[in-house]
Chains A and B, each alone.
Chain A
Amino acid sequence: MEDFDVIIIGGGSAGLAALKHISALGKQAILIESGKEIGSKNVSGGILYSKNKEYGQVHNVEDIYGQKFLEEEPYERRITKYILNATSKDKVCSIDLTSIHDFQSNFGCSVLLNKLNTWFAKEAQEEAQKQGGGIVTGVHVKNIKWNNENTPIELDGGKQNSSTYDNSLIVETDELEEFRSRAIIAADGVNSEIASLLRAREKFSPDQLYQGVKVVIKLPEEIIEKRFEIGPDEGAAHLFSGDISLNQVGGGFLYTNRDSISIGGVYHLSSLLENPVEPDQLVNSLINNPLVKDLIQDEVPIKNIEKNLSKEEQTKKSFTISKLIRTWNELREIYYSPKNREKTIANGKFKSIEEIKDKINTTRRRLVEEFNTKFVTNYVELEYSAKVVPDGKRCMMNKPYYKNVLFVGDAAGRGIFLGPRIEGLNVGMDDAVRAAKTIIKYIKNNLTDPNIGEIYSQSIHESPYTRDMKKIDKDYLKVLLKAVKKIPLEDLGAKNNFLIRCMSNDFLRNFAVSTINKVGFYKFLSFVESPKIYIDIPILLAEKLGRKINTSTKFDIPELSERISKLKYYEDNNSHIIVTKPQIEFMKKMTVLCPTKCYSIEDQNVVIQHEGCIECGTCSKETSWKHPRGEKGIFFKYG
């Protein structure tokens, strides 16, 4: 059997950070990812934050990957504008919350996980290969067991440490022969099978999870800058609450990427179970908001082929039109992007910007005149995705380990919901470095310390992120109230007004916060995360103080089936999910809450058709849930 020092399971941003750090410290580590390629299974909103170190010792992205991260910019845009929009029908009340975004952070940038994780992987792989390690994709870990538990082994030909115990683990996968490892980092995400297998924790329950659903929308670079009134080095983030949430606890988001927009919602799974709404409808309600419509609309060609032509002619025409539309799209991508323009002119493909513009116009004219193509105002979706997000304050593992298996990131339930701000990427990366450091110590001590988990756990408890998950930060509340204070709140009713005024008083606020933290923050959650805060007050705000936005734009929003048909899958004949309780209420609700409608009811039993599954994990709690075998299942191109 082959032997390795460290195996990392899962190649999301957490697992990759672990690989990078262990390798940088000079040890061999191998990362195993079940997706066909790194990045193909990961979904985020998302904004990656770098935390200001004044507030505690953390390992930020730029610490792990160095200056190169800032130079090569594998992210989308640095977010410089952060706005909360309270909505009610055609009225929107916008509040500038940039101070919340800036809270304790060096910067925050929008990211698309396929691109970001691919870049992380390139860096981590390079470092790992120097130590004889690396990344192996398309391999799904299905079991872990311990080798000769409690059998003493002799190291170095029996000269030393005869009391050492062989704690090494045997890893079983669907694709490879078994192999052995001295320690494991489980970075296998929120739906961690490793955690379930080892019974290291219960599966997360709906009360501990949010369901995130997102679409990525195409929009040329400089059109984004004009629409959002941002510069080339800037980005905007919009948060939404109010009627867009269709009465659910949670909210919507819209982040500008380099040349696309991420738009979606994050809703409490308990709330969804109480009053089920289709996830795609939640995204649609946001897309249909007049403010959003104005922000994301674009000129879109509609292919039109005369039906009276022969089948063969129709196919050929269709191919030709597709080609022209592709050219038109590619040219626009060049024209509206300074970098692309420069590159194309430098390599001599075009002489000037005007020439590109001309070519766009002639292509468009050909499409209209020769091929009857119509150009309409609409928007273009690139990808639909979903994933559950762990709410760390409700579910982080108190002891994130089982023997010499250390859990990091989403697998350990470590996500922060700080008002509208979500942090999971940065937290997982910081956990990963802590796990890496612990393991290095462990290996150097030649397996003698059985308390590897405890040492790691200690380090996790010292993490400022753990504190953020456990306690309300009084400074955060101060910043939040300061931002809200700018809007006239007299109209919101005496009770709300009184509360805000009390909280604005430094003494009262500090007293309240310390009391809450003493009693236990989680005891107040039902108040903080209530329909009143997430729905009623925002609607009131929008109605009383909002501006009316008139828009005549009508979008042709794709049906769910169209969204699914655009996704890329590597089909597995075997279902990775098995329905074990076909008659319980939870499962019945999955017929509504599964983002790709994999569930239906037949003869009073809930049945699954797994082919469309995007592995979000919403149904995991009450099913026998595994990730598909290596390379199989959904392949997110953006994530």
Chain B
Amino acid sequence: MSLNVAVIVKLEPDFSEGNISYNADGTLNRAETKSKLGAHSSVACLAAFYAKVNYGANISVATMGPPMSEIALSEAQSICDADSLHLYTDRIFASADTLATAEVLKKGIQKMKENENENNNGIDIIFSGHRASDGETGQTGPQTAWKLGYPFFGNVIDYHLNLKDRVVTLKRLVVLNGMDNIIEEIESPLPVFIALDPSYKPSFTTLSSRLKATIFEKNAEKKVANFKSYLKMFDHNSLELDPKEVGLSGSPTIVYKVERIPKGKMNRKAEIIDGRDRNQIKNIAEKILILNGQYGRS
């Protein structure tokens, strides 16, 4: 029984030292800063990979963004051995808020149904990451699910499928303020939209499934070397989107003003200790001893 999976990913700036670049005025230099597949997106890809290894899923990865977002798609392919890569790129998609983005993704995912699944019932599971690291609010996923009419499950830490009955059993983490976190186990018929918790890790518990995983990993490596042949580009025309519903004009959100949260007044001063400097360590040790003397040993 076939299984079709879509993964929604996002290209994000790489904030690590040596990759990030600033303009003279201190703002982020987007052109020079390297970009890569977002960390949460990689987790979504891992979940898709699990479906590939254990259930033989057919995987399509999609992203909306400028043409350079193809980097994210190729990185995603290297993780999940994707069978097709979809890039939704169009000048008029720029400055989209989450709702306008969801509109593009909805149409894109509906297209996947039409294109790739002549003899089956469309996309069974959509995976997305928790949220993007560069200012996204975590709404894109639920909104896309809502537009598509898929049930949405967030903070998922584990899932299994019963392909015969087309049912998914999943575990999700529920954080209750002030109480112990709980894990909820849910069963739902397919199709579903699953947003992974950042802690998700696919668990291959038998030697043969681990072995299978390595074969797919190797396949992925081969595919990525030639990832453009898996890449399909879509603009608003090919997605049959109304320009009014996408990009800036499709975005009801108005960012009125961004304010820095004022820092609380600090009345303690932190001192940074460099562990490599023996003198500094000596100093801190002395201070601890003095403090101990002051307050007495408990």
Interface residues of A (CB under 8 A from B): 2, 4, 30, 32, 125, 129, 133-136, 139, 175-177, 179, 312-313, 316, 318-320, 322-323, 326, 559, 561-562, 565
Contact = CB atoms under 8 A, between A and B. Distances in A.
B206 interface: yes
A136 B207 contact: yes
Interface stretch (B44-52, B210-218, B283-291): B210-218
A125 B218 contact: yes
B79 to A, nearest CB: 15
B297 interface: no
21 contacts: A30-B211, A125-B214, A129-B215, A134-B211, A134-B214, A134-B215, A139-B207, A139-B210, A175-B205, A176-B205, A176-B206, A176-B207, A177-B205, A179-B206, A179-B207, A316-B26, A318-B17, A319-B20, A319-B21, A323-B18, A326-B18
Interface in B271-298: 275-276, 278
A319 B211 contact: no
Q: State the majority secondary structure of interface residues on B.
A: loop
B291 to A, nearest CB: 21
A331 to B, nearest CB: 14
Contact of A320 (B22, B214, B278): B22
A176 B211 CA distance: 12
B208 interface: yes
A336 B80 CA distance: 38
Given A134-B215, A320-B21, A326-B18, 4 more contacts: A30-B207, A129-B215, A312-B26, A323-B20
A561 B276 CA distance: 6
A137 B23 CA distance: 43
B210 A565 contact: no
Contacts of B211: 30, 133-134, 136
A2 B17 contact: no
Given A125-B214, A129-B215, A319-B20, A177 B206 contact: yes
Contacts of A320: 21-22
Nearest to A137: B214
Nearest to B15: A319
Interface in B1-46: 17-22, 26
Contact of B22 (A125, A176, A316): A316
Nearest 10 Cβ contacts at the A-B interface = A136-B210, A322-B18, A179-B207, A134-B211, A316-B22, A326-B18, A562-B276, A322-B17, A177-B206, A323-B18
A565 B18 contact: no
Nearest to A139: B210
Given A125-B214, A316-B22, A323-B21, A559 B206 contact: no
A565 B17 CA distance: 17
A176 B214 CA distance: 15
Contacts of A319: 17-18, 20-22
A134 B215 CA distance: 8
Contacts of B207: 2, 4, 30, 32, 136, 139, 176-177, 179
Contacts of B205: 175-177
Contacts of A179: 206-207
Nearest to A559: B276
A565 B276 contact: yes
B203 to A, nearest CB: 9
A565 B18 CA distance: 18
Contacts of B22: 316, 319-320
Contacts of B17: 318-319, 322
Nearest to B211: A134
Of B19, B21, B22, B207, most buried by chain A (CB within 10 Å of CB) is B207
Contacts of A4: 207
Contacts of B26: 312-313, 316
A571 to B, nearest CB: 16
A2 B205 CA distance: 11
A316 B204 CA distance: 42
A112 B255 CA distance: 54
Interface in B53-87: none
Nearest to A135: B214
A318 B16 CA distance: 12
Contacts of A176: 204-207, 210
B275 A136 contact: no
B261 to A, nearest CB: 15
A319 B22 CA distance: 9
Nearest to A4: B207
B216 to A, nearest CB: 11
A566 to B, nearest CB: 11
Contacts of B204: 176
Nearest to B32: A323
B273 to A, nearest CB: 12
Nearest to B214: A134
Contacts of B210: 136, 139, 176
Of B22, B26, B215, most buried by chain A (CB within 10 Å of CB) is B22
Of B26, B210, B276, most buried by chain A (CB within 10 Å of CB) is B210
A316 B24 CA distance: 10
A9 to B, nearest CB: 12
Contacts of B208: 2
B104 to A, nearest CB: 34
A492 B155 CA distance: 77
Nearest to A320: B22
A175 B208 CA distance: 13
